[in-house]
Amino acid sequence: MNMIKGLLHAQITIPTGAEKEARAFYCDVLGLEEVSKPASLIDREGFWLKAGDRTLFVGVSDTEGRNAYLSYEVANIDDMRERLQSYGILLKECKAIPDYERFECFDPFGNILEFIMPISAFTYCS
């Protein structure tokens, strides 16, 4: 029996003092919405973001070895590609996987971000 129902949230880390830069990237560039943390966690550094129906925790850590890997499903991969390029973000094309189009980039803190879109199996007939 599978006890895990699904992924509730994910966390990445940024260095101390980088919250303003992280908000600019995640809220302004990626367009994610910041959400309030519970009152019991307000005193902790970092912030939370809404990513679809899940939550992304942006924590603060000065430990070496940050490199989270997050995959964001997008509605239009070309629009996301153009948006990131308009901010001067270097994109990396990925190996193809069946039924998906995808690419990657790094956030300003070294975390790997994948953007992925299912390719519709629907074909048009003329």
Q: What is the pLDDT of residues 49-71, one digit of tens each?
A: 999 999 999 999 887 656 788 88
Residue 84 has pLDDT above 60, yes or no: yes
pLDDT category at 89 given cuts 50, 70, 90 is: very high
More confident residue, 53 or 2: 53
Q: What is the pLDDT of residue 104?
A: 93
Q: Which domains can be identified in the chain, with CATH numbers?
A: 9-118 (3.10.180.10)
Q: Which amino acid is at 9?
A: H
3-state helix, strand, coil in the chain (%, to 5): 20, 35, 45
Q: Residue 31's pLDDT is what?
A: 95
Strand locations in the chain (E): 9-14, 33-35, 47-51, 54-60, 69-73, 92-93, 100-106, 112-118
The β-bridge partners of 23 are none
Question: pLDDT band at residue 97, thresholds of 50, 70 and 90?
Answer: confident
- Percent residues over pLDDT 70 in the chain: 87
Its pTM surpasses 0.85: no
Q: In whole angstroms, what is the distance from residue 57 CA to residue 27 CA?
A: 13
- For residue 90, the model assigns a pLDDT of 96
Q: HSE-up of 125 (CA within 13 Å, CB side)?
A: 0
Say whether pLDDT at 78 is over 90.
yes
